[in-house]
Structure 1
């Protein structure tokens, strides 16, 4: 069974803009995927990724398997880590790209840009598992905050359950993701979902690391983990940077909704 889950947020990235009426996205700095919402890390983010790698390559217990959001900035953040781990024959040798653990976009009357598929990403990141298929895909028109929490909980349940039954017997996994998703992961694993999503509980600084340990031999996934490290940054020369929390600003939809998006779902 998986005993430890490591979660990291991608490093400092380039920005984009969006017209909330038309859904047109623009970015002055594009990654190799050429998708406006898929910018690369900034030069500072690249340095953060290198500092993160130094920490992750020496972490205990060591990493057995690696999952990533499909966005370029997450894979770029993992690059210096996997270059060393995979060269040494550690961490499984492949990254599994899981869309269910990807970025959060607020619900909108338009479709948000989709990330590049694994085959295209493999041209820039050759260590991707081309046989792995995402277990869950976010809706193209975005999500309410409660939908994100449900999506992340479902994705975690599927991913960890599959690893628990893996004959190779991995004990630890690493996930590289985004701010909102990182918070939702902490809530799903611990079962500590606040009544108001705006509560500032799980942190998510750029290139930070959160660690969750399974409670004994607990069966099932959701709610059976203890947070033993909340967005740690001691290995980063810049420390805690670009913290983020929910405040409802991501919702593009003007349609009335009978359910308060800040109200926690039942996971």
Structure 2
């Protein structure tokens, strides 16, 4: 038996954090359970959403056989009401949440190290039923990734997860993945093979605690691909997903459903501003590099000038974000800038 269905959910409404664009220092509005400012818990409203999501997940057919999560706190917490109920039904020994870094957060490109999730030792203090594979499928580079690199990272991660499920002697039919907005969009594109020319196209919906379902089109054998090498983290093996989809392709049967949530669709997200900012940033960096190569000025000055440009673009992105109720991320330097009204908790990716 091979895997037939993949369910995908986004984490619930969470607490906020900010980052200093000049230093890359993250800070949070409230203390975080893991002590990592960029790893917040769900807001009270997000906990309510997760409870409503749990009821929906428990009623699915086919039922969920395997559970995967981004290793960030908010994703594991979103699954907790579901896993707690599942333990009551199946017993603790039969429930595991597999933490996979390849399903983790997207930070864009930056000149400083991106945040890492907490270790499993820390997370075990807060949650039960956690499992970590001896070797993760893939770990995002600490220096970040472009939007195309994110898509390839997610596609490779899915390829390996599906391969593992297909070879599992227990024969799981369905699995669920809890992840972030950017990754949820990429999962839809990687599974269906549909990559729009405009990265900001609103194709796969990712509201807080939204639910999507993908049904496998083909159960043919997957092609072998080169394994990801942690010594070269920026090099992601190509699984040939564009145009066909991972593992033979999948149909999107449910796209970002929120009908089971009392608040309905909230905090939608897309790549629009990110794609625009990334393209502009790439062009500016190329121009600066060419200039300083001629003038023989080091990379430190390039970063200083690029940071000044980034600050200007943050203000521009803030103005653009007023077109939508959704807080946006600015990716000009891969900095997670949450553009929120005073006193309001916001949710990004």
Residues paired across the two proteins, number: 259
Q: C-alpha distance in 2, partners of 1:239/1:90? A: 32
Residue matched to 1:44: 45
Q: What are the ranges of 5 or more consecutive residues in structure 1 without an aligned counterpart?
A: 262-267
Secondary structure in 2 matching 1:153: helix
Q: C-alpha distance in 2, partners of 1:90/1:223? A: 34
> Conserved in 1, the CA contact under 8 Å of 2:214 and 2:254?
yes
> Conserved in 2, the CA contact under 8 Å of 1:41 and 1:73?
yes
Q: C-alpha distance in 2, partners of 1:255/1:248? A: 18
Residue matched to 1:139: 141
Deviation at residue 222 of structure 1 after TM alignment = 4.2
> Conserved in 2, the CA contact under 8 Å of 1:30 and 1:40?
no
Q: C-alpha distance in 2, partners of 1:51/1:130? A: 27
Residue matched to 2:170: 168
- Map 1:101-116; keep pairs closer than 5 Å: 101-116=103-118
Deviation at residue 122 of structure 1 after TM alignment = 1.2
**Which one of 90, 98, 101 corresponds to residue 99 of structure 1?**
101
After TM superposition, what 4+ stretches of structure 1 lie above 6 angstroms from structure 2? Answer: none
Q: C-alpha distance in 2, partners of 1:187/1:131? A: 25
Q: C-alpha distance in 1, partners of 2:99/2:72? A: 9
Q: C-alpha distance in 2, partners of 1:48/1:116? A: 23
Q: What are the ranges of 5 or more consecutive residues in structure 2 without an aligned counterpart?
A: 223-245, 288-330, 332-349
- Map 1:172-191; keep pairs closer than 5 Å: 172-191=174-193
Secondary structure in 2 matching 1:256: helix
Deviation at residue 31 of structure 1 after TM alignment = 2.4
Pair 1:197-2:199 in alignment: yes
> Conserved in 2, the CA contact under 8 Å of 1:119 and 1:130?
no
Deviations 1:156-211 (A, max 9, x none): 11111111111111110000000000000000000011112111100000001000
**Which one of 206, 209, 212 corresponds to residue 207 of structure 1?**
209
- Map 1:4-153; keep pairs closer than 5 Å: 4-89=5-90, 92-153=94-155
> Conserved in 1, the CA contact under 8 Å of 2:69 and 2:75?
yes
Structure number with the higher helix fraction is 2
> Conserved in 2, the CA contact under 8 Å of 1:191 and 1:223?
no
Deviation at residue 29 of structure 1 after TM alignment = 1.6
Cα-Cα RMSD: 2.1
**Which one of 235, 256, 259 corresponds to residue 286 of structure 2?**
256
Deviations 1:215-258 (A, max 9, x none): 1434433451000000001100000000000024375876339x
> Conserved in 2, the CA contact under 8 Å of 1:70 and 1:115?
yes
Moved more, 154-163 or 23-32: 23-32
Pair 1:243-2:268 in alignment: yes
> Conserved in 2, the CA contact under 8 Å of 1:31 and 1:72?
no
Residue matched to 1:265: none
Residue matched to 1:264: none
Query: TM-score, with normalisation over the residues of structure 2?
Result: 0.71
